[in-house]
A and B are shown apart, each in its own frame.
Chain A
């Protein structure tokens, strides 16, 4: 399994042609206390860079974008009851959705962990 990152602070962990998507630790620290998350339903088709989910802090609502195109397999229902999972475990239990990739070559444009760390350090 390989984990990639986007400049919009999403992570995507790829296993063959399926993947899990969430927001990074840096993203949750910038958003602050998460009070609501809306994840896509199974079967939804996502386009790379398009709106995929919503995350709301006390102050504001933010979009979560699809790092790659694909079809949603499952949204993380646990976020409905406990949106703070995004704060406490953003890159684990606080994942947003799983999807089937429609074009694995889209992964080529994403960053690996070291490149993302360098990107965040430069912000």
Chain B
């Protein structure tokens, strides 16, 4: 799938997170992910998953790229490469968006926040260097791309995240879902500004906190001292986002798929649908108008055997799709999956089969998310 497969590359040094030692000290099992040694689990994926759904889980996502784009007309310039209405984004508001290739394929998914300086963009760790190269190539020279490598990023997720975080960072509970701001943390005499957004990738209410790496340990020690908070690894992050129906870039989306196929057409803003003017607009607007030939859908799985990435999906003898994410859903106590299925077979409720180790397993196209989102929306009841 990745280009790396085609070449014999020199071994690349695996990087350490700023809090590598902290994770190991907390009993983390470390694995290589996105070029970093990352904690995959502490006490166990199942327990960590359930803890996050019931309490608050602390995730180190410092491998992700934190970019600051600045310069006159930065929002308009970025709109050539993403399908969101970025120029209408008000300060302190954020949008989920997509970095698009010239042919409309998805190069990455990202969070874009309007900040006083310009645009704060969080991209996936595994492709952050490619993203920066692509942005540099296609954005005008007046736009500066600053990779804020000296900052760590943490997510605090779960129904008790706000309760726990406001004890450490007063006032943060004023944010609603997809809002962000700067908050002072620490002693009044020498406070440190943190950049905090009410967002995440678990389907739960929660926050993402950007902090200078030099202060990361102190912050994380304070957060994990809260009774609601436990550190959570990548394993549970994956099962949480899968239950929430959130696509994982590099698995559920890649440069071959467009946003409509990838079931993220909501990222294409109304004005941009009308006006076009973004990379791959022709293909993407055609897919919007006429429906995509295939689409990323959820699949519930009969029985207990997980159906995983790469499994082929069949309608009778015909292959009609492929699984791109699959595993066991701790909150449901059953296997679930997501995958691409041809348009004739991707309506919710369609009965299909997946092939696992030569055996057919019954699967059913399911509505996403598998479990409801619990975001803290403005005007919402939760």
Q: Is the pair A32, B304 in contact by a Cβ cutoff of 8 Å?
A: no
**Does B101 count as interface, using CB distance less than 8 angstroms?**
no
Q: Assess whether A80 is in contact with B235, with CB atoms less than 8 Å apart.
A: no
Is there an interface contact between B41 and A36, defined as CB atoms closer than 8 Å? no
The answer to whether B330 and A80 touch across the interface, beta carbons within 8 angstroms, is: no
Q: Does A61 contact B (CB under 8 A)?
A: yes
| Residues of chain A with a CB closer than 8 A to B49's CB | 58
* A58 & B305 in contact (Cβ 8 Å cutoff): no
Task: Report the interface size class on chain B.
Answer: 10 to 19
Task: Tell me if B159 is interfacial: C-beta within 8 Å of chain A.
Answer: no
Is the CB–CB distance between B44 and A56 below 8 Å? Answer: no
In contact, B308 and A58 (Cβ under 8 angstroms): no
B69 at the interface (CB under 8 A from A): no
Between A54, A56, A58, the greatest number of chain B beta carbons within 10 A of the residue's beta carbon is seen for A58
Query: Is B113 interfacial (CB-CB < 8 Å)?
Result: no
Interface string of A51-64 (1 = CB under 8 A from B): 00010111111000
Interface pair A61/B306, CB less than 8 Å apart: yes
What A residues does B335 contact at CB under 8 A? 35-36
Contact B45 A80 (CB under 8 A): no
Whether the Cβ atoms of B330 and A58 lie closer than 8 Å is yes
In-complex Cβ contact of A56 among B46, B235, B328 (8 A): B328
Report yes or no: A33 in contact with B45, Cβ–Cβ below 8 A: yes
Residues of A within 8 A of B47 (CB): 33
Q: Mark A31-61, 1 if CB is under 8 A from B, else 0.
A: 0110110100000000000000010111111
Interface pair B304/A33, CB less than 8 Å apart:
no
Inter-chain contact A35/B357, CB cutoff 8 Å: no
- Contact residues in A for B97 (Cβ distance below 8 Å): none
**Complex interface residues of chain B between 36 and 90 (CB less than 8 A to chain A):** 40-41, 44-47, 49
The residue that A58 contacts in the complex, of B45, B304, B357, with Cβ under 8 A, is: B45
If A58-B327, A58-B328 touch, does A36 touch B304 (CB 8 Å cutoff)? yes
- Least Cβ distance of A120 to chain B in Å? 15
Interface residue? B239 (CB, 8 A): yes
Interchain CB contact under 8 A, B357 and A36: no
State which of A35, A57, A59, A60 has its C-beta within 8 Å of the C-beta of B304: A35
Least CB distance, A96 to chain B, in whole angstroms? 16
How far apart are the CA atoms of A35 and B41 in the complex, in Å? Answer: 16
CB distance from A80 to the nearest CB of B (A): 7
CB pair B327–A59 under 8 Å, yes or no, is yes
Please judge, given known A-B contacts A32-B235, A33-B46, whether A56 and B306 are in contact too, CB under 8 Å: yes
CA of A61 to CA of B49 in the docked complex: distance in angstroms? 19
Cross-interface CB contact of A59 among B45, B305, B357, cutoff 8 Å: B45
A40 to chain B, nearest CB (A): 13
Q: Report the bound CA distance from A54 to B327 in whole Å.
A: 15
> Contact between A32 and B41 (Cβ–Cβ < 8 Å)?
yes
Specify the chain A residue showing the minimal Cβ separation from B45. Answer: A58
Q: How many angstroms from the CA of A21 to the CA of B44 in the assembled complex?
A: 25
Of A35, A56, A57, A83, the most chain B CB neighbours within 10 A belong to: A35
Interface residues of B (CB under 8 A from A): 40-41, 44-47, 49, 235, 238-239, 304-306, 308, 327-328, 330, 335, 357
Interface pairs (7), CB distance under 8 Å: A33-B328, A35-B304, A35-B335, A57-B45, A59-B40, A59-B327, A61-B308
Knowing that A36-B306, A58-B328 touch, tell me 18 more A-B residue pairs with CB under 8 angstroms. Answer: A32-B41, A32-B44, A32-B235, A33-B47, A33-B328, A33-B330, A35-B304, A35-B328, A36-B328, A54-B357, A58-B46, A58-B49, A58-B235, A58-B239, A58-B327, A61-B306, A61-B308, A80-B304
